[in-house]
A and B are shown apart, each in its own frame.
Chain A
Amino acid sequence: MYDFLYHKVNSVDDAVAAMGNADDGKFVAGGQTMLPTMKHRLASPSDVIDLGGVSDLVGIANEGDALVIGAMTTHAAVAASAEVQSAIPALAKLAGNIGDPAVRNRGTLGGSIANNDPAADYPAAVIALGATVKTNKREITGDDFFTGMFETALEEDELITAVSFPIPMTAAYIKFENPASRYAIVGVFIAKTVDGNRVAITGATPCAYRGMKFEKVLNEDFSSNACDAVEVSVDRMNSDIHASAEYRAHLVKVMVKRAVDACG
């Protein structure tokens, strides 16, 4: 790890101000990706602004038609939350299966979606649930937030404050895990809402995406058999030593079908 200036802040304003004064600053939330990267000397920010002390960013609130979860809420807190478990059990289950206990107790919702790892779980939930990402500047829809591999719509000095997840009628998340890392090789989140079904797929492609073709057939017939009609293109799929593009494309359909079945 290279030397850097460490800033402990108590408010979003102080965090943004510290970022403004830094040459090459980085916010750190749970640090579960950033700190290993720094330890391996693969990143060398001039300033690290620790959001751990910003209590406004932590918490889970049920606002009736949506769950609002603070950006610095840990995966473990989401998994253990009675509010989440009763309103969107699929989201609690997703959070409870990210990484290992150490990761879940440090890693945060905001950190995960700001990093936008192609194999992360949360992006699928944000997209499928039609969530809104709240920042210190604006609100961004889930569909617009994730822009590419490790890229988001966030600006340099923009900080996620919370994510608002509309409460669906029912939802399910099914993940096919990488046997080594246990990240998603393919993860599928399906939400049944009054406005129709939403399907989001993570892990398969460089950035999580909406499965519009699946949504179309499922809106007509919400059954796993209906999904057989959908062709999943191999072209956009990731390919690595764990799963070829062809295998990933196959798994997308299998996982969508299983998520449909899990929705009941």
Chain B
Amino acid sequence: MVENGIGVSVLRKEDKRFLIGKGNYTDDINVAGQTHAYFLRSPHGHATIESIDISAAAASAGVVAVFTGDDLAADGIGTLICGVTVTSDDGEPHRAPAHPALAQGKVNYVGDHVAIVIAETLAQAKDGAEKIAVDYGVLPAVTETARAADDDQVQIHEVAPNNMCFNWPFGDKEGVEAAFASAHKVSRLELINNRMVTNPMEPRASLGEYNTGTEEITLHVTTQNPHVHRLVLSAFNQLAPEHKLRVVGPDVGGGFGAKIFVYAEELVVGWACRKVERPVKWTGDRTEAFLADAHGRDHVATAEMAMDEDGKFLAMRVMTQANLGAYLSTFSTMVPSYLYAFLLAGQYTTPLIYSEVKAVFTNTAPVDACRGAGRPEATYLLERLVDVAARDMDLDPAEIRRRNFIPKDAFPYQTPVVQCYDSGDYVAALDKAMVLADYEGFPARATEAIARGKRRGIGLSSYVEACGIAPSAAVGQLGAGVGLWESAQVRFNPTGNVQVFTGTHSHGQGHETTFAQLVTEQLGVPFENIEVVHGDTAKTQFGMGTYGSRSLAVGGVAIAKACEKLITKGKKIAAHALEAAEGDIEFADGNFTVAGTDKAMNIGEVAFNAYVPHSYPEGLEPGFDENAFFDPLNFSFPAGTHICEVEVDTDTGVVEIVKYSAVDDFGKLVNPMIVEGQVHGGIVHGVGQALLEGCRYDSEGQLITATYMDYAMPRADNVPSFDVDYAPTDPPDNPLGVKGCGEAGAIAAPPAVINAITNALGIKHIDMPATPENVWRAAQGAA
């Protein structure tokens, strides 16, 4: 094994700077002449703007400028876009209402952007904002997902009758109906997938600088994908041409999806810095993060499973209403459609699946991808339905899963919902998880708990997730406006150290370590001589960024391809320097050798030779620096079984997770420590959704969970120490043999937790979040 290579739990390179306070986040960056921006936001869920008077604000002490939507429109700045088209059942594209960065005549959610005040200090900007007089005509608000399309609801956007964005049917409706008609048994479940606030630790921020000499805008912004920001802001918002716009995502304190999107604030800041010819900084506070970051999930659904007498799944039917919020965020339409319905087969051989997704507008913050994005919703629905089916068939939940798993010799496996899984061994993961969880010993533990007045339950979740979304041709057919490849550049400096430029973006994932491990493994360069560079459009050639657990499975392969090119070129250089034929040069462990001889050159020497080409033959290009683009053949399909064990205090409804076991298939692990950290974090995210987190608006559209006093985040004492293991398979569609791991925990955990609670109480279902009061009420009903 290479020192610090693939498979080694190397400590994270990036942690030193974070631990000693030397991280460089957007708000840490201050530049000469900087001004501070504050956004005046709508206090109403739904209102017309009859008039705005900015005169007193503009005259307020320290105020540099005040702008409204009219100013943006006058400069031809485009509205915010949604990059994925979903075709509705009438054959038309989804309804896409205009999404102005600053309101024009109407506000559609609390937190919607009305005006920007730019001042010498933040306090002066806030003082100025208080002096803006807005005359609102308050309208009734639409806030309930399930009722948004009802006839009695007020219309939010003219272009979207009944507040419908799209109605997207998918699958074999007639075939499913026929299977249901002749089924031995049909299990049915109605459920809610609770709305979440994504809550990265660092709030969003942006700093715009305009150079009047070069006419270039530099935008530092909390982003997971700087090039996507640059592309969208240039091509659709006319902020500046791409070659005159530099987007930098410096250290970013967590994203979880919320920092993928191009938001109003960053567009307005980027535009305003040129307008006032001074740097403009905006740093959101926590309340703004609650109000105006894209939220996640928010489905109501009905799921049905038809079975034969053995509990084999014959067909599944799913009707879903998904809340997209007030406007379409950057990738919002994709989340409850392709990222959801294409996962409904899960680990099972269910031959027929029909799904209908109605996506609706409401007077709430836009909803878009949040860790897992569509896949947690699909997995929760399916894994809950499977437990209900087991209950209806009087089968053990493990047994009904086993009877319906796709067998390991059936891969590649074409599901009825587009996806073709390349590898998996679901029985192996289930078996291993059941041992890890001591499933056999559960009845004795449950009996012992009863003696202590507690109810104990155990719950399984056997999930598949589809990440590393690809290939570009497939996403293009589905209506995505972008490709989903990744790029890398691996550059040797003359003295033999290496800079790796990746188009992915690390905001907590540890790429600087993992990617360096890939390169040290492949090129034999010492780990400490490798630096991973990301997050700056002026440094990295291009990239699609980090989301959907794609960075290693897609971005890592691009790095490996660039390394292969270096080896190919290195052989030419070594052949020349060692006076051998290129075909006789072999490369291993960082050395080019002439086969069958002791003549050798280290790759560092080759690099120096490449930059000091004093005796190069004609046709050999100097330099040792290669780039590569990689477009995968397929998605990546991590899978596994998680088992949660809970104890319920029926007097209070408090649920304690007493044991949590996870067995995942992530293919080959590059850094097991980092992977385990991702698993832990994902599970905690999922436990948060299952037990604690519930974003709620009142009937007027006020967000009533807008602070941590009311929005419950998971904490260390909400979870036990996890038992984590792996049951890897080798994915043939991934050249590195790796799968994504960042979202799996958040996808697997919610049904595992809820299945454990329903098991403990002997009930069919309880909605998330299973708060103490909800569990107490369920326990009363069950008693």
For residue B691, which residue of chain A has the nearest CB?
A179
B291 interface residue (CB < 8 Å to A)? no
Instruction: State whether the Cβ of B709 lies closer than 8 Å to any Cβ in chain A.
Output: yes
Known: A241-B696, A243-B773, A244-B773. A251 touches B652 (CB 8 A): yes
**Could you say which of A40, A41, A176, A241 contacts B710, with CB atoms under 8 Å apart?**
A241
- A254 to B718: give the CA distance in the assembly, Å: 21
Say how far B357's CB is from chain A's closest CB, in angstroms.
Answer: 28
Q: 8 Å CB contacts to A: which residues of B437-490?
A: none
Looking across the interface, which residue of chain A has its beta carbon closest to that of B710? A180
Min CB gap B148→A, angstroms: 21
Residue of A nearest to B769 (CB): A179
B515 at the A/B interface (Cβ < 8 Å)? no
**Contact A247-B773, Cβ < 8 Å, known A180-B712, A241-B710, A254-B651:** yes
Chain B residues whose C-beta falls within 8 Å of the C-beta of A179 in the assembled complex:
691-692, 712, 771-772
A86 at interface, CB cutoff 8 A: no
**Which residues on A sit within 8 Å (CB–CB) of B711?**
180
Residue of B nearest to A41 (CB): B126
Contact check, A241 vs B705: say whether CB atoms are below 8 A apart: yes
Cβ of A181 < 8 Å from any Cβ of B? Answer: yes
Q: Mark A236-262, 1 if CB is under 8 A from B, else 0.
A: 000001111001001100100000000
A254 touches B652 (CB 8 A): yes
B581 interfacial contact with A, CB 8 Å: no
Contact check, A247 vs B776: say whether CB atoms are below 8 A apart.
Answer: yes
Verify if B276 is at the interface (C-beta below 8 Å from A). no
Q: How far is the CA of A41 from the CA of B125 in the complex (A)?
A: 13
Q: How far is the CA of A1 from the CA of B123 in the complex (A)?
A: 7
A250 to B649 CA separation, bound complex (whole angstroms): 14
* CB-based contact B708/A181 at 8 Å: yes
Encode B107-134 as 1/0 by CB contact (under 8 A) with A. 0000000000000000100100000000
What 0/1 pattern do residues 663 to 691 of B give for CB contact below 8 A with A? 00000000000000000000000000001
B125 CB to closest chain A CB (Å) equals: 13
Residue of A with least CB distance to B713: A180
Residue of B at shortest CB range from A254?
Answer: B651
A180 and B709 in contact, given A242-B773, A247-B776, A250-B776 (Cβ under 8 angstroms): yes
State in angstroms the CA–CA spacing of A176 and B771 once bound together: 13
Whole-angstrom distance between the alpha carbons of A180 and B704 in the complex?
13
**Set B652, B708, B713, B771: member contacting A242, Cβ < 8 A:** B771
Report the Cα distance A40→B691, complex, angstroms: 29
- CB interface residues, B 71-115, toward A, < 8 Å: none
| Chain B residues within 8 Å of A1, by CB | 123
CB-CB < 8 A to B123: which residues of A? 1
B22 to chain A, nearest CB (A): 23
Min distance, Cβ B126 to any Cβ of chain A, angstroms: 7
Which of A180, A183, A250 has the largest count of B CB atoms less than 10 A from its CB? A180
Interface centre among A1, A178, A179, A244, by most chain B C-beta atoms within 10 angstroms, is A179
Which chain B residues in 690-740 approach chain A with CB under 8 Å? 691-692, 696, 704-705, 708-713
In the complex, A183 Cα to B712 Cα: how many Å?
12
Q: Chain A residues near B126 (CB, 8 Å)?
A: 41
Q: Using CB atoms, name the residue of chain B closest to A183.
A: B709
Q: Are A181 and B696 in contact (CB under 8 A)?
A: no
Bound-state CA distance A244–B773 (Å) is: 8
Query: What residues of chain B lie closer than 8 Å to A176, measured between beta carbons?
Result: 652, 772
Q: Chain B contacts of A183 at CB under 8 A?
A: 709
Q: Given A241-B705, A251-B652, verify A181-B710 contact (CB < 8 Å).
A: yes
Instruction: Provide the residues of chain A in CB contact with B692, threshold 8 Å.
Output: 179-180
Tell me the complex Cα distance, A243–B774, Å: 9
Chain A residues with CB under 8 Å of B712's CB are 178-180
Within 8 A of B (CB), among A128-162: none
Alpha-carbon distance A254/B773, docked complex (angstroms): 13
Complex contacts, B704 vs chain A, CB 8 Å: 241
Bound form: Cα–Cα A241–B194 in Å? 15
User: In the bound complex, what is the Cα–Cα distance between A176 and B776 (angstroms)?
Assistant: 14
Residue of B nearest to A185 (CB): B772
Separation of A243 and B710 alpha carbons in the complex (Å): 11
A202 to B662, CA, bound (A): 40
**What per-residue 1/0 map shows which CB atoms of A216-243 lie under 8 Å from chain B?**
0000000000000000000000000111
Interface string of B748-783 (1 = CB under 8 A from A): 000000000000000000000001110011000000
* Bound CA span A183–B709, Å: 9
Q: Which residue of A lies closest to B692 (CB)?
A: A179
User: CB-defined interface of B235-264 with A at 8 Å, one 1/0 digit per residue?
Assistant: 000000000000000000000000000000
Residues A150-193 near B (CB distance < 8 A): 176, 178-181, 183
Q: How far is the CA of A241 from the CA of B705 in the complex (A)?
A: 9
| B696-A180 in contact (CB<8A) | no
| Closest-CB distance, A49 to chain B (whole angstroms) | 22
Q: Considering only CB atoms, which chain A residue lies closest to B287 in the complex?
A: A40
The distance from the CB of B183 to the nearest CB of chain A, in whole angstroms, is 40
| Residues in B whose Cβ lies below 8 Å from that of A180 | 692, 705, 708-713
Cα–Cα, bound, A181→B709 (Å): 4
Ranked 9 nearest A-B pairs via Cβ:
A180-B712, A179-B712, A181-B709, A247-B773, A254-B651, A180-B710, A179-B692, A243-B773, A180-B711
B-contacting residues of A (Cβ < 8 Å)?
Answer: 1, 40-41, 176, 178-181, 183, 241-244, 247, 250-251, 254
Chosen A-B contacts, 30 in total, with CB atoms closer than 8 Å, are: A40-B287, A41-B126, A176-B772, A178-B712, A179-B691, A179-B712, A179-B772, A180-B692, A180-B708, A180-B709, A180-B710, A180-B712, A180-B713, A181-B708, A181-B710, A183-B709, A241-B705, A241-B710, A242-B710, A242-B771, A242-B773, A243-B772, A244-B773, A247-B772, A247-B773, A247-B776, A247-B777, A250-B776, A254-B651, A254-B652
Q: A180-B710, A247-B773, A247-B776 are in contact. List 10 more A-B contacts (CB 8 A).
A: A179-B691, A179-B772, A180-B705, A180-B709, A241-B704, A243-B772, A243-B773, A247-B777, A251-B652, A254-B652
